[in-house]
Each structure stands twice: as C-alpha cells, then as structure tokens.
Amino acid sequence: MKNSTFTLQDVVESAEKFGRENVLFANVDKARDLKQKNPKSPYDVAYVDIGFKRADGTILQPAKLKITEQLIASSAMAPHGTEEGVIPKKINIAFTVLEKEDIETGDYVPKKKDSDEDQTKENKRSSDNNDRYMTNNKDLNNAMSILDASYKSLCAELIKNKDSYKFKIQKDRKMKEIPVFSIKQETRIDKDTQKDVKLPNPIYRVNLQVVQKPSDGNKEKEKCQGKIGIYSYYSNSFKPTVFDARKMTKANRYQPVPAKVKASGKYVDINYKNAKSFITRKSLVGGHIVFECIVASKFGLSLNCSFYDLFVYRYKTKNVQNSMTPEEIMQMRGGASEDNDSSDSDVDDEKNEDEGDKNEEIKDSDDDIKDSDDDEEVAGSDSDE
C-alpha cells in the first residue's frame, strides 16, 4: 500500500480548517457497482471510495489512520447477530473513553521493587504511562467522532444526489429511507425494558477481516478459512493482520510476529473463534485503520473501515496476594469437601478471561449492519491491497 497515512492530530487539524463534517471526501466518479459491471453478479452492491483531506490540502486515498498505545474496550467479537457455526466476514474491535481507575490494574500498576528509591521511580514510570494512555484514549475517541460525523455527512450527500449518479445507492426499492449504519454506538438495549438506553460514552468499532470459504475450490485458501487476515490470490498465500507485540523484542530486531493462541497444548493461528482470548479488554494496541469506502447494499449504507495491521500487547492480570487464611477459605466452602468441588472454574484456552460485565455493554448493539454471505461482498476482501 502506498504511503497515505494520517494521524489523530491530522484529523483534529483538518476539522479545524474544514469543519467536523468535511474531513473525508467521496470519489463518486470511480464508484463501482457490481450489478452494472456484471448483471449476472449475485451481489447487488456498490462501492464508493473515500479519502482523507489533510489541512495542508493533501488528499490521501486510501485513507490509513495510524494509532499507537491505545487501550481496547472489549475482547474481539463477531458482529451482533452472527449465526452459530457461520464464519463471519469480520470480527470487531471496540474503543471507548476509559476512566483511569478502570485501567489501573494488572499490567498497569507499579511492579514491586526492593528499595524505596527504586519503588518511587517505578511508581512514576507507571503513572506517566497511564497518563499517556488516557491522553491517547481521549484523542482517538475525539478523532473517531470527527470521522464518523464526516462519513455521515457524505452519506447524506450521496442520498440527496442519488438520482444523478450512474451507479445505484438505493439497492432496496421497497425502502422509503436508506439506512445509514454507523461505526459509532451511542445507545444499548436495556434487557429489562427492551428500550434504548444512552451510553455514558460512545463505542466505536473497527473490524478485522476473516478469510472466507473459497467459492472456487482453492485448496490453499480452504486451509486458511476462519483465520484473521487476508488471503492473496496474487501470491496464493495467507497474510496475517494481527501480531504479538510482546514477542517483538531486540532479539528478533522487533520484527512482526504473527499472533498465535495455545489450544489443546499446541499453538495455532488466531481465528474468529479464539481471537477473543488474545485480543482482550484493556490490551494495548497499535497499527493502521484503513477507511476504504462506503458500501451501498440492500441493507443501506455502511462504512468499510478495517485494520490493515494490528499489533497487540495482550493485557495480563497480575496474581493477587492471598489475604485469606485457610480457615476462612474453608468457612467460605461451607464445610464442603474439596473432593466434591467442581473444576468448572478452570478457564479454557480459547475462552475469554475478560470481565464479562464490561463486555455485555459493548456487545448489546443493534447498530451493526447484518453480516451476510449471500447479499454482500466486502470491498478489498481476500485480495491484495
């Protein structure tokens, strides 16, 4: 991919010059309508490429946002409504505004040192890091808010001028209005009342592409189905997009190390099923988000934005010092024998060890566009960039 990278600061500067709703542009002259290109195509989808406008007038297309030292809000998840046993085209990574007290656990607390002097230095190191993480977190959420507002403005313009284009924006003629699906979730459904409840802070979702089952019988691609990454027909090979930052060290010259998960005693490539055990809540991540195009399908308009690469420094909790006596533990058992106790508390390698109550809020979203293998083809999927 050619250099078309922009930063969070670039987003702010462009918004100050052009307005929050005008940092992106749509290249309607080069829109691609699959039905018009091939009337026999099973996919009635149109793609409108988008780009980013820098404050200095530079046009970046495709637009690739670089992020560093960002804390994710939940473990990796398949889109809302994904059917059991069906390989989703993507999994979602969520970001939201975090409070400092939420992150000051596990990796983000000072390590114990032997001397008071060393402990003071360690406390400052940890505090400075957390302050930086919080600043980065707020900057990302601000930038994503601007990009989402600009995307919605482009959608409004496309809908307003839909009759003047050579391609079709409205793919379902029965719809009175064309739905616009956002990467920004501002409400969730209350389980008791089944009504929308406003979230304290919006949630933004960026996806990771999942290799699909080949329709042409390609044996090499078939071996890779379900993995997180892109299958290149050009080189007939799989390209991972998730990397383990903990294993990128001086010893290997900080070269990217594809992420793997231990399952049944063996390390396997990260896939849509086990990703949640590696990409966990409060993990520190960096990489590039590509804002590629607006997709027009029978469901409405959606923004295709996904990670070009994602480097994950997986969050680990620290062991808690035992402050309970054996007698107190036995009292909590109610006198039950240890032999009768169940081992259900053991966590499977591929199960998420994250805080479930926090994830509940993240996954209660009806804003995600339906992921359908029958009706929509994702732009840029399973091909070289």
The pLDDT of residue 324 is 66
The pLDDT of residue 344 is 41
Report angle CA 384, 42, 87 to the nearest 5 degrees: 60
Lowest mean pLDDT segment, chosen from 91-100, 330-339, 355-364: 355-364
The pLDDT of residue 367 is 42
Band of pLDDT at residue 360, cut at 50, 70 and 90: very low
Band of pLDDT at residue 357, cut at 50, 70 and 90: very low
The pLDDT of residue 263 is 85
- Alpha carbons 90 and 292: distance in angstroms, whole number: 15
> pLDDT of 73-125, one tens digit each?
999 999 887 888 899 999 999 999 999 888 888 889 999 999 999 999 999 99
Band of pLDDT at residue 356, cut at 50, 70 and 90: very low
Band of pLDDT at residue 331, cut at 50, 70 and 90: low
Q: Looking at the predicted structure, is the pLDDT value of residue 346 above 80?
A: no
The pLDDT of residue 130 is 94
Lowest mean pLDDT segment, chosen from 132-136, 139-143, 148-152, 328-332: 328-332
Work out the average pLDDT over 16-24.
Answer: 97
The pLDDT of residue 191 is 87
Please give the residue that has the higher pLDDT: either 211 or 358. Answer: 211
Strand partners, 92: 77, 207
The pLDDT of residue 207 is 95
Please give the mean pLDDT across all residues of the chain.
85
Band of pLDDT at residue 329, cut at 50, 70 and 90: low
Q: What are 38's two structure tokens? A: 């091939």
Band of pLDDT at residue 9, cut at 50, 70 and 90: very high
The pLDDT of residue 381 is 40
Band of pLDDT at residue 173, cut at 50, 70 and 90: confident
The pLDDT of residue 295 is 96
The pLDDT of residue 2 is 58
- Alpha carbons 380 and 212: distance in angstroms, whole number: 13
Q: Looking at the predicted structure, is the pLDDT value of residue 264 above 90?
A: no
The pLDDT of residue 366 is 41
Question: 355: which residues sit within 8 A by CB, 6+ positions away?
Answer: 281
Q: Looking at the predicted structure, is the pLDDT value of residue 13 above 60?
A: yes
Lowest mean pLDDT segment, chosen from 7-21, 35-49, 263-277, 364-378: 364-378
The pLDDT of residue 339 is 55
Q: Looking at the predicted structure, is the pLDDT value of residue 350 above 60?
A: no
Q: Looking at the predicted structure, is the pLDDT value of residue 371 above 50?
A: no
pTM across the whole model: 0.83
Residue carrying the six token digits 């892109």: 230
- For residues 342-368, one letter each, b for 16 or more C-beta atoms within 10 angstroms of the residue's C-beta and e for the rest, the string is eeeeeeeebebbbbeeebebbbbbeeb
Band of pLDDT at residue 322, cut at 50, 70 and 90: low
How much of the chain, in percent, has pLDDT values that exceed 90? 63
Report angle CA 134, 286, 52 to the nearest 5 degrees: 95
Asked whether the CA dihedral 366, 367, 372, 375 is positive or negative, the reply is positive
